[in-house]
Amino acid sequence: MTVRIDKKIKGYAVVTPDDKAKETAKAAAPAPAAEPEDNVIQMHERIERPEVLIGSTYKIKSPLVEHAMYVTINDIVLNAGNEHEHRRPFEIFINCKSMEHFQWIVALTRIMSAVFRKGGDVTFIVDEMKAVFDPRGGYFKAGGVYMPSLVAELGHIVEDHLKSIGMLHDPEMSDHQRALIAEKRKQFEERSKKNADAGSAGLTGSAADHPEDIEVTGEGATFPPSATMCHKCSTKALVLMDGCATCLNCGYSKCG
Ligand SMILES: [Zn+2]
């Protein structure tokens, strides 16, 4: 085949078999795929903010800050009224009386809001934030959950919020796993009761009346006060059973 070239040659590329395959795929693909997706609006940065947004405000009380912090996350409702209706986070604000954290809070919330408005899978910021550690040390929340920093607690709030609007889901615990945790828990409770009975023979007074009290914590979960921190679920629920550290919250066991 002869091709006559009328124009000046400014550059060239060799057509590889790969390119040809792409070309044919392009020609074949678009017709069936494009049609149903057309009407569904997804989050993207050109969506304009409506006058009114709905949202939730969460309270943080941390020993690292003198006053409580109030975290507001507002959502936009996309495809309202039809089967594709869904909520997506649109903006985040943090209010606090203390001014000491003001500058990084302003920076963080503006960047987070920008990420929300970009759309796509914004759930990655949850893991990023939860992995932030304060070099001065973290703190325990009610329920024995360890917060390595204020930023990590914000990450937990964003996670809770994304769960509440259906963007994130709790990993399903298998029935087997649940049964195992219940079993370990029962064993532990029986054992500490037995120990207490044995101890009370020689003891009088309050120490014997209150064996390993099972502490009722803020979130309704009960773990013995002697429990230590589980590094897997960050909860004070790790007890020693048969010489093996076992978590009564998530089922983690050092011995597998
Ligand atoms: Zn655990």
The domain segmentation of the chain, as residue ranges, is 54-164, 173-191+216-256
First to last CA, the chain: 70
Instruction: Residue 147: name the closest of 227, 59, 234 by CA.
Output: 234
User: 227 CA to middle of ligand 1, Å?
Assistant: 11
Among 15-24, 114-123, 211-220, the minimum mean pLDDT is found in 211-220
Distance CA 189, CA 195 (A): 10
Could you tell me the pLDDT band of residue 36, with boundaries at 50, 70 and 90?
Answer: low
Neighbours of 242 (CB within 10 A): 9
Distance CA 145, CA 62 (A): 12
User: 204 CA to middle of ligand 1, Å?
Assistant: 35
User: 186 CA to middle of ligand 1, Å?
Assistant: 16
**pLDDT exceeds cutoff 60 at 122:** yes
Mean pLDDT for the chain?
A: 82
**pLDDT exceeds cutoff 60 at 220:** no
pLDDT of residue 29: 57
Contact 222, 216 (CB under 8 A): yes
Instruction: Residue 89: name the closest of 60, 118, 69 by CA.
Output: 118
User: 246 CA to middle of ligand 1, Å?
Assistant: 8
User: 230 CA to middle of ligand 1, Å?
Assistant: 5
Instruction: Residue 212: name the closest of 231, 233, 191, 229 by CA.
Output: 191
User: 176 CA to middle of ligand 1, Å?
Assistant: 16
**pLDDT exceeds cutoff 80 at 123:** yes
**pLDDT exceeds cutoff 60 at 201:** no
pTM of the shown model: 0.63
44, HSE (Cβ side, Cα atoms, 13 Å): 4
- Residue type (1 letter), 205: G
Could you tell me the pLDDT band of residue 38, with boundaries at 50, 70 and 90?
Answer: low
User: 134 CA to middle of ligand 1, Å?
Assistant: 21
User: 251 CA to middle of ligand 1, Å?
Assistant: 6
Mean pLDDT in residue range 67-84: 93
pLDDT of residue 215: 46
**Which tokens is 139 given?**
């703190």
User: 229 CA to middle of ligand 1, Å?
Assistant: 8
Measuring CA to CA, how many Å separate 255 from each of 174, 237, 243, 244, 245?
20, 16, 9, 6, 8
The distance from CA 2 to its chain's CA centroid, rounded to whole angstroms, is 63
User: 208 CA to middle of ligand 1, Å?
Assistant: 29
Over pLDDT 90: what percentage of the chain? 36
User: 128 CA to middle of ligand 1, Å?
Assistant: 20
